[in-house]
Amino acid sequence: MSPSASGGGRRQGARILVTGATGYIGSRLVPELLARGHRVRCLARDPRKLLSRGWDGVEVAAGDVLRAETLPPALAGIDVAYYLVHSMQGDPRNFAGKDREAARAFAAAAAACGVRRIVYLGGLGSGEGLSEHLRSRQETGDVLREGPTPVTELRAAIIVGSGSASFEIIRDLARKLPVMICPRWVNSRCEPIAVRDVLGYLSGVLDEPRTVGRTFEIGGGEVYTYADLMRICGEETGRRIRILTVPFLTPRLSAYWLNLVTAVPMSIAFPLVEGLRNDVVCRETSVRDLLPRDLLPFREAVRLALRQEKKAEVASRWTGASSAAAAEPWADGSPLLADRREVATSLPPGAVFERVRRVGGENGWYYADTLWALRGALDRFVGGVGMRRGRRDPVELRVGDAVDFWRVERFEEGRLLGLRAEMKLPGQARLTFEVEPREGGSLLRQTAEFHPDGPAGRAYWYALLPVHRLIFRRMAERIAA
């Protein structure tokens, strides 16, 4: 019999809450916990993102760690709560303050509901001069520990796996730049860890009562410089790269460079680059004695990630977390500007929707892909997400997926796809595709909606109206052709 949850371990079938279940780690942790026989409840701002995952037996609670009143119903009857949320992508301007606020509310609610343990995944790093990102990750753990509920904190550096933001940065650099001029941070040391080992530690602490109330540093056991990581990744993609270091590239200039070359937008690139100036190496390894496992070497983790990408077997991706643009509530009511298209076709509804569901990413937008790419480049130039995020899967879609600079807001198989814009705009935008059966074929209804933000928003819409009319008309015609 496994240790009791009251002692900090778990009984068979512990009642577990996972926050951040739509994120990169949370999306992979839930199936792991289910496989171990636990009863899982997930907290999500938008439950629709989780209902489409097909996780049998998982409860979904609507709530937000920044809205304290929504937490007690989600935490009621819970033995162990996983805290896997952060605000960096949602609000890059004040993520540290929001992280502290959310952790304080969560710790208070967990104590009030009698939760026996909180498990938190933080960031590795030590000493003076930690970046704001790493300092915030560690402050979050400190705030959680201010409450009476015991906290088990695991601190990791770069997590290597298909869909990881850090891995995609390294991969993109190695693929695209045979010669790189880099700042001095490429000589900083780090200890990467494979995502499967992170999941093994996160789930394994439930079985080991000696992990209660302790902080552990987790890594893969191999220490490299960031330059080494890029060289190894380059070798695994069949490229030899040369790296030249220079003293004058500041973190902000480096972030702009990453924003232009990789899929990661400025809002994420800047805090990540700031963190690269710190050595992130495990100083203590007691977790390896308490939870022994065969750690996957970095080179093998890269091979596995690349293989999964090639087979389109990416279980989760960093793009699963919505940006600040999509986190804002939709501005219901007037003013609303729209472009509506209806195209009748002799194709059956299934054939038309199959084209709709493949929109974006490497499949393109069916018309004027060069103009779509230009719009994405302009968005990246001003710090937006741009078009490089692509898609998690070339065919499969689910609510919450990123599609270039859109987010899947609604999805009904064979009938409806609703996208919400995440590019930088003077307003809010949606693009909706509906397919209906009709005699002799089907009808495609395509609607672009825009809520302008004041005069600037209206000026933007009408200035681009001729372009929008051409693109939206031809796109609808080609989808239905």
Tokens at residue 125, please? 């790093």
pLDDT at 54: 79
Averaged pLDDT, 213-223: 96
Is 387 in a helix, a strand, or coil?
coil
pLDDT at 128 over 90: no
Q: Locate CATH 3.30.530.20 in the chain.
A: 322-480
Token pair 């605000």: residue: 87
The residue with greater pLDDT, 57 or 383, is: 57
Instruction: Look up the pTM and report it.
Output: 0.80
pLDDT at 463: 93
Is 450 in a helix, a strand, or coil?
strand
Amino acid making up residue 268: I
5-319: CATH architecture: 3-Layer(aba) Sandwich (3.40)
pLDDT tens digits for range 27-64: 999 999 999 999 999 998 888 888 878 788 899 999 99
pLDDT at 334: 60
Cα–Cα distance, 472 to 353 (Å, whole number): 17
Cα–Cα distance, 31 to 267 (Å, whole number): 30
Amino acid making up residue 464: L
* Of 359, 367, 444, nearest in space to 394 by CA: 359
Averaged pLDDT, 443-464: 93
- Sequence-distant (6+) residues with CB within 8 A of 27 are 21, 53, 315, 316, 320
pLDDT at 188 over 60: yes
Q: Locate CATH 3.40.50.720 in the chain.
A: 5-319
pLDDT at 176: 73
pLDDT at 166 over 90: no
Pairing state between β 189-190 and 59-62: unpaired
Residue 150: phi and psi, rounded to 5, are -60, 140
pLDDT at 478: 95
Cα–Cα distance, 421 to 310 (Å, whole number): 27
pLDDT at 170 over 50: yes
pLDDT tens digits for range 392-422: 889 999 888 999 999 999 999 999 999 999 9
Ranking 87-101, 134-148, 220-234, 308-322 by mean pLDDT, the lowest is: 87-101
* Confidence band for 351, pLDDT divided at 50, 70 and 90: very high
Q: What is the average pLDDT value for the chain, to the nearest integer? A: 87
Q: Is-contact 192 298, C-beta < 8 A? A: yes
* Confidence band for 206, pLDDT divided at 50, 70 and 90: very high
Cα–Cα distances (Å) from 207 to 14, 38, 81, 454, in that order, read: 11, 12, 15, 56
pLDDT at 8: 45
Tokens at residue 403, please? 């599609």
pLDDT at 323: 54
* Confidence band for 434, pLDDT divided at 50, 70 and 90: very high
pLDDT at 332 over 80: no
pLDDT at 91: 52
pLDDT at 82: 98
The residue with greater pLDDT, 317 or 274, is: 317
Residue 268: phi and psi, rounded to 5, are -100, -35
Q: In the chain, what's the furthest Cα-to-Cα distance? A: 71
pLDDT at 4: 39
Is 470 in a helix, a strand, or coil?
helix
Please provide the distance, in angstroms rounded to a whole number, between the alpha carbons at the two ends of the chain: 62
Cα–Cα distances (Å) from 30 to 26, 388, 396, 401, in that order, read: 6, 28, 20, 17
pLDDT at 279: 86
Write the DSSP string, 305-345: HHHHHHTT-----GGGSPPHHHHSPP--SS--EEEEEEEEE
pLDDT at 11 over 50: no
pLDDT tens digits for range 242-298: 877 777 666 666 677 777 777 777 667 777 777 677 789 999 999 999 999 999 999
pLDDT at 10 over 60: no
Residue 96 sits at the vertex; the CA angle it makes with 92 and 98, to the nearest 5 degrees, is 85
Averaged pLDDT, 178-190: 77
Q: State the burial class of residue 398 (Cβ atoms within 10 Å of its Cβ: 0-12, 13-18, 19+).
A: middle
- Dihedral angle over CA of 452, 458, 464, 466, nearest 10: 110
At the fourth CATH level, the homologous superfamily of domain 322-480 is: START domain (3.30.530.20)
The residue with greater pLDDT, 467 or 5, is: 467
